[in-house]
Amino acid sequence: MTEASGRERRGLVVEDEPSIARMCIRALGVDGFEVDIAVDGKAAQERLCVNGDMYDLCLIDIRTPGMSGIELYQQLKNDGSEMVNRVIFTTGDVINENIKAFLEETGRPFLPKPFTPDELRSVIRIALAPSSQG
């Protein structure tokens, strides 16, 4: 999937489970995305400092070791990063009331784990639609 500018779309996947990370790479690759993987929020933060403007989306697992996805999102928000408008969350814990409240507060799309490649690609299309930005 390329933009009107002709550049390849890029995604950052913040995921500590190798099998899910591999599935995300394959699913996004079908739509022409180049994908970088970060195993936790800290590694993602480093990649975003270097390549932030190049990412069209950031798929963040809420629970990662070290810096969580919630902490990463809050840091992006505090920094005034435009990336907050391109975040999609994943979580295996949609029952937790704190996580539910956080997801509602952000208004960002999320995928409950486990999810299929088609579900991932569908939520990405919705999240990247012009009307959902901002």
Give residue-wise pLDDT tens across range 69-81: 999 999 999 999 9
The helix/strand/coil state of 54 is helix
Give the residue carrying structure tokens 């970060």: 38
The helix-helix angle for 69-78 and 41-51 (nearest 10°) equals: 30
Phi first, then psi: give them for residue 83, nearest 5 degrees.
Answer: -60, -25
> Can you list the domains of the chain with their CATH numbers?
10-132 (3.40.50.2300)
Q: Who wins on pLDDT, 117 or 131?
A: 117
Task: Return the closest-CA partner of residue 63 out of 35, 37, 99, 32.
Answer: 99
Q: What mean pLDDT is predicted for residues 81-92?
A: 94
Has residue 3 got a pLDDT over 60? no
Give residue-wise pLDDT tens across range 44-64: 999 999 887 799 999 999 999
Tokens standing for residue 67: 């810096």
